Amino acid sequence: MESRELLFIEPTQQKSAQPTLDEITRKMTAAYRKTIEGSLVNGKIEDIMFMGWHECVCGAMSDNTNHVLPDSSMETNSLCIHYLAWHREEVPAREIEEVKKLSYGEEEPTKEELQ
């Protein structure tokens, strides 16, 4: 399986006035809580690779590791929920479709996860 990266984006616009808390954001939240720290290499989860902190245009900070779904279908980062909630307009439609396909249920994000 090819490793797929989800939500490694760099928004250029300021964040929206209110976070978007819909099915998409909640699905990502549930999936994110299942991720483990690591990196996908040829479809397998390898040891943690430290990627360095990343700062969003609005000042939100990521942690310094990637986060991989337990079935190793997807790799994301700790700002994935933030991007969907605050920068939805800049998330590519293709990635929204990928999030819709996640099957880890739906959970409400916390303040910390939203940043």
Bridge partners, 41 (sequence order): 44
Q: Is 56 in the site for Zn ion (CB under 5 A)?
A: yes
CB of 97 to Zn ion, least distance (A): 21
Neighbours of 79 (CB within 10 A): 24
Which of residues 60 and 69 has its CB atom nearest to Zn ion in the complex? 60
- The answer to whether the beta carbons of residues 33 and 105 sit under 8 Å apart is no
User: What is the separation of C-alpha 44 from the centre of its chain, rounded to a whole number of angstroms?
Assistant: 19
CA 60 – CA 68 distance, rounded (Å): 21
The residue from 6, 60, 69, 91 that contacts Zn ion (CB under 5 A) is: 60
Residue nearest to Zn ion as judged by C-beta position: 56
Q: Is 74 in the site for Zn ion (CB under 5 A)?
A: no
Residues 8-27, one symbol each (x = binds Zn ion by CB under 5 A, - = not), give -------x------------
